[in-house]
């Protein structure tokens, strides 16, 4: 199933086009809960993955859903996930050190079909290898644009996570793009749709709404508690 998913076409990271998203809110001390956070490496094959010890949480999402922006807010570092957007790295599995034996893994975005099928297959194999192999994987954040609801690709990722018993937390991001009532309606619809297979919350990288809840869910995953 995973192997049927389609990868994104390569494109430059859009971060620089909207620097507002990467500035800490006024009056906020720009302190990270992860002062030692750093990029470890990108992997293009199972053999290149970092040692499978400790705990790691994967971030997945349709391309352009807001995954990099969400990671940057949660880790509280400007342009942290930007590394994974540098041309050539968008289709790779990017490992980040959070703390000793705790990692965040930025998975390649998916959702655009106009790429060579060889690349598409390689991507799908890489994803399948990742999910099937990683013993340290203890949770997945699925980043969904609140205006788009769940896409077929998201459903496939959810199905796969469920089949390997992986707890999932859905971040309905870009919540600032909807009025409060519309956002609440969207959240309710997604909740109904998910039918208990994942927890869900609203999030905005722009206003930082939901950042504490997201971080606490990340911590629960890393501590081996899925919080459900
Ligand atoms: P990725 O491809 O999933 O990593 O997506 P990015 O994090 O690069 O975000 C894609 C686009 O959406 C960029 O132009 C971001 O500035 C924008 N974006 C991301 N998160 C938010 C958000 O919470 N609110 C708003 N208004 N824009 C966002």
Beta carbon of 72 within 6 Å of any ligand 1 atom: no
Q: Which pLDDT score, from 0 to 100, does residue 176 have?
A: 98
CA of 135 to the centre of ligand 1 (A): 30
CA of 228 to the centre of ligand 1 (A): 27
Beta carbon of 89 within 6 Å of any ligand 1 atom: no
Atom of ligand 1 nearest to the CA of 177: 26
Provide the pLDDT confidence category of residue 159 given band limits of 50, 70 and 90. confident
Task: At 72, give phi and psi (nearest 5°).
Answer: -60, -40
Which residues have a Cβ under 8 Å from the Cβ of 6 and sit 6 or more positions away?
A: 110, 111, 112, 113, 115, 120, 123, 124, 153
Cβ–Cβ under 8 Å, residues 168 and 85: no
Q: Which pLDDT score, from 0 to 100, does residue 172 have?
A: 98
63 pLDDT higher than 50:
yes
Q: Which residue has the higher pLDDT, 198 or 151?
A: 198
- Residue by residue, DSSP assigns 190-226 as HHHHHTTSSEEEE--TTT-TTHHHHHHHHHHHHTT--
CA-nearest residue, atom 26 of ligand 1? 174
The mean of the pLDDT values for the chain is 83
Beta carbon of 136 within 6 Å of any ligand 1 atom: no
What is the pTM assigned to this prediction? 0.86
User: Which ranges of 80-209 would DSSP assign to H, the alpha helix?
Assistant: 117-133, 152-163, 180-194
Least confident of 33-37, 39-43, 83-87: 83-87
């Amino acid at each position: 199933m995973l192997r049927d998913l389609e990868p994104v076409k390569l494109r430059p990271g859009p971060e620089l086009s909207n620097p507002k998203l990467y500035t800490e809110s006024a009056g906020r001390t720009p302190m990270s809960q992860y002062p030692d956070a750093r990029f470890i490496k990108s992997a293009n094959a199972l053999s290149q993955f970092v040692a499978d010890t400790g705990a790691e949480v994967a971030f997945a999402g349709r391309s352009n859903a807001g995954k990099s922006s969400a990671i940057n807010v949660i880790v509280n570092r400007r342009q942290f996930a930007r590394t994974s957007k540098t041309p050539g790295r968008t289709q790779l599995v990017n490992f980040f050190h959070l703390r000793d034996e705790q990692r965040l893994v930025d998975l390649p975005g998916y959702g655009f079909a106009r790429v060579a099928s060889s690349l598409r297959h390689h991507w799908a194999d890489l994803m399948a290898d990742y999910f099937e192999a990683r013993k340290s994987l203890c949770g997945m954040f699925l980043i969904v644009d609140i205006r788009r609801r769940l896409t077929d690709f998201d459903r496939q990722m959810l199905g796969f996570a469920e089949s390997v018993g992986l707890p999932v937390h859905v971040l309905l991001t870009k919540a600032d793009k909807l009025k409060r009532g519309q956002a609440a309606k969207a959240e309710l619809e997604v909740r109904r749709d998910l039918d208990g297979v994942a927890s869900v919350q609203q999030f905005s990288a722009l206003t930082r709404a939901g950042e504490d809840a997201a971080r606490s869910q990340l911590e629960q995953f890393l501590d081996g508690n899925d919080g459900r």
